[in-house]
C-alpha cells in the first residue's frame, strides 16, 4: 500500500501566514500540469509496483485546476500505477472556488474527498489572514459540497488568532459542529519569518497571541471535539469514528509515498527526495527528461527519529520495541529517567511498550520529541 501526492503550486493570492511553495501568477500553470504528468511517467518505478491506495492533490490551491487538467493527472496515475478500486482521492479546495458547477466537475472527475480550507467563520479573522473567501462562503461551500454528494469532507480551522477573549473560537467551533463534517484539521496560527505576518511581527505591526492563550484554545478544542464524538487520532486531526484521513495516516505510519510537482517530497523508507521549489526550473528540467530533486539518505538514527516524530503525535503511539528491533535503539534503557519523568508529570504513559502522550503532553509534543531524538 502506498500513496501519491501532487503539489499544485498556484494560488489566487498569498495568505499572510503561509510559507508553502506557491505562485500567484498563472502563466506557467498549463506547463506545470503537463510537467507533473510527465514526472509521473518518469518516476513510475519509485513505488516498486506497490498498489496506490491514496491520491492527494495539495498545494497551493488544487481547486484552481480545471476539469481537463484534473482528469489528465488522474488518468495518468491510473495508467502508470496500480490504483485500488476504493482509493481515497482527496483534493484541497478554497471555499471561493467551490461553486455548485465546480463541485459537479470534481465529482465527475473522480474526487471522493474534499479538504476545504475554511480557517475561520469570522470575517475579520479571514481578512487579517488575507483569505480570498468570506465568512458566508465558509459556511455555504460546505453545504453545497454536501448537496453535491460529497460526504467525505474535512475542513481546516486555525486557532490562536489574537482576540480579546475566546468567544470567537467558541463560535467557530459551534458553527463547525452544526455542519456535521466527519473530519476536522485544526492548526495553531504559526508566525513564519518569510510571510507577511512574520514581517509585520518583526516590525511590531502584528502581535502574536501569547502561548498561554493559544494553549487554552487548544484545550477548548479538545473539550469540544470530545463532547461531539470526534476522536483526536493525531495532534491536529480529529474525525468521527472510521473517517480518519487514509493519506495522512500513511505519512504518520511510515507508509511509502511518491510526491510529484514543484517542492513535493517523496519517501521510500530509506531515503527522502525533495523536488526543487521553483516552477520554471521544475518545468525546464522535466522537459529535459530529468526530475530536479535533492536526495537525503536516511541513517538508522534518521529513521528512528522520523518514526518518533510522526508516531508520537498519533493515537497509535510510539512502539518502543519497534525502535529497538528495527533501528537498534533501546529507548527503555537509554531514556529511562526521562521516560519516568514524563509519566510522573502526567505528560505521557507507557502501555505494553507503547509510548503515548497525554492531553497535557500534547501541548509539549515538539519539546518532548526533541528530548527523545537519537543523535
Distance CA 82, CA 368 (A): 39
Work out the pLDDT band at 1, boundaries 50, 70, 90.
Answer: confident
End-to-end CA distance of the chain: 31
Give the model's pLDDT for residue 375: 83
Work out the pLDDT band at 315, boundaries 50, 70, 90.
Answer: very high
Q: What is the pLDDT of residues 326-375, one digit of tens each?
A: 999 998 899 999 999 999 999 999 999 999 999 999 999 999 999 999 98
By percentage, how much of the chain surpasses pLDDT 90? 97
Kindly give the interhelix angle for 167-179 and 211-227, rounded to the nearest 10 degrees: 30
Distance CA 28, CA 9 (A): 10
CA atoms within 13 A on the CB side of 116: 34
Distance CA 222, CA 199 (A): 31
> What is the mean pLDDT of the segment spanning 207-218?
96
> Could you tell me the domains of the chain?
2-253 (3.20.20.70), 300-372 (1.10.10.920)
Give the model's pLDDT for residue 319: 96
The helix or strand, by DSSP H or E, that contains position 294, with its residue range, turns out to be strand 293-297
Give the model's pLDDT for residue 163: 97
pLDDT(262) > 90: yes
The answer to whether residues 225 and 184 touch, using CB atoms and an 8 Å cutoff, is yes
Q: Write 354-357 long-range contacts (CB < 8 A, 24+).
A: 354/316, 354/317, 354/318, 354/319, 354/320, 355/312, 355/317, 355/318, 355/320, 355/331, 356/317, 356/318, 357/312, 357/313, 357/317
Residue position matching grid coordinates 536526495: 295
Work out the pLDDT band at 17, boundaries 50, 70, 90.
Answer: very high
The answer to whether residues 130 and 16 touch, using CB atoms and an 8 Å cutoff, is yes
Give the model's pLDDT for residue 90: 98
Q: What is the pLDDT of residues 49-88, one digit of tens each?
A: 999 999 999 999 999 999 999 999 999 999 999 999 999 9
Give the model's pLDDT for residue 19: 86
Give the model's pLDDT for residue 66: 94
Amino acid at each position: 500500500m502506498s500513496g501519491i501526492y501532487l503539489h499544485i503550486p498556484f494560488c489566487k493570492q498569498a495568505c499572510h501566514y503561509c510559507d508553502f511553495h506557491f505562485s500567484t501568477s498563472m502563466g506557467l500553470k498549463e506547463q506545470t500540469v503537463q510537467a507533473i504528468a510527465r514526472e509521473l511517467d518518469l518516476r513510475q518505478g519509485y513505488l516498486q509496483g506497490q498498489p496506490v491506495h491514496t491520491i492527494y492533490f495539495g498545494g497551493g490551491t488544487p481547486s484552481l485546476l480545471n476539469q481537463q487538467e484534473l482528469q489528465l493527472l488522474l488518468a495518468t496515475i491510473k495508467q502508470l500505477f496500480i490504483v485500488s478500486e476504493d482509493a481515497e482521492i482527496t483534493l484541497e479546495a478554497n471555499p471561493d472556488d467551490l461553486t455548485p458547477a465546480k463541485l459537479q466537475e470534481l465529482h465527475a472527475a473522480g474526487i471522493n474527498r474534499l479538504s476545504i480550507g475554511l480557517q475561520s467563520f469570522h470575517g475579520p479573522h479571514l481578512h487579517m489572514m488575507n483569505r480570498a473567501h468570506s465568512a458566508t462562503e465558509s459556511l455555504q461551500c460546505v453545504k453545497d459540497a454536501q448537496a453535491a454528494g460529497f460526504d467525505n469532507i474535512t475542513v481546516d480551522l486555525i486557532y490562536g488568532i489574537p482576540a480579546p477573549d475566546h468567544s470567537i473560537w467558541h463560535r467557530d467551533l459551534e458553527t463547525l459542529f452544526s455542519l456535521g463534517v466527519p473530519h476536522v484539521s485544526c492548526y495553531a496560527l504559526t508566525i513564519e519569518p518569510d510571510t507577511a505576518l512574520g514581517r509585520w511581527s518583526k516590525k511590531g505591526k502584528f502581535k502574536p497571541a501569547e502561548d498561554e492563550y493559544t494553549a487554552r484554545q487548544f484545550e477548548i478544542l479538545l473539550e469540544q471535539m470530545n463532547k461531539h464524538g470526534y476522536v483526536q487520532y493525531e495532534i491536529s486531526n480529529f474525525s468521527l469514528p472510521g473517517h480518519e484521513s487514509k493519506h495522512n495516516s500513511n505519512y504518520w505510519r511510515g507508509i511509502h509515498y511518491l510526491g510529484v510537482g514543484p517542492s513535493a517530497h517523496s519517501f521510500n523508507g530509506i531515503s527522502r527526495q525533495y523536488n526543487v521549489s521553483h516552477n520554471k526550473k521544475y518545468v525546464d528540467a522535466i522537459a529535459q527528461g530529468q526530475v530536479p530533486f535533492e536526495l537525503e539518505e536516511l541513517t538508522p538514527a534518521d529513521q528512528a527519529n522520523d518514526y518518533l516524530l510522526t508516531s508520537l503525535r498519533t493515537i497509535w503511539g510510539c512502539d518502543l520495541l519497534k525502535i529497538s528491533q528495527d533501528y537498534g535503539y533501546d529507548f527503555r534503557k537509554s531514556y529511562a529517567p526521562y521516560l519516568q519523568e514524563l509519566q510522573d508529570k502526567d505528560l505521557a504513559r507507557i502501555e505494553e511498550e507503547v509510548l503515548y502522550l497525554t492531553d497535557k503532553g500534547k501541548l509539549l509534543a515538539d519539546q518532548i520529541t526533541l528530548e527523545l531524538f537519537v543523535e
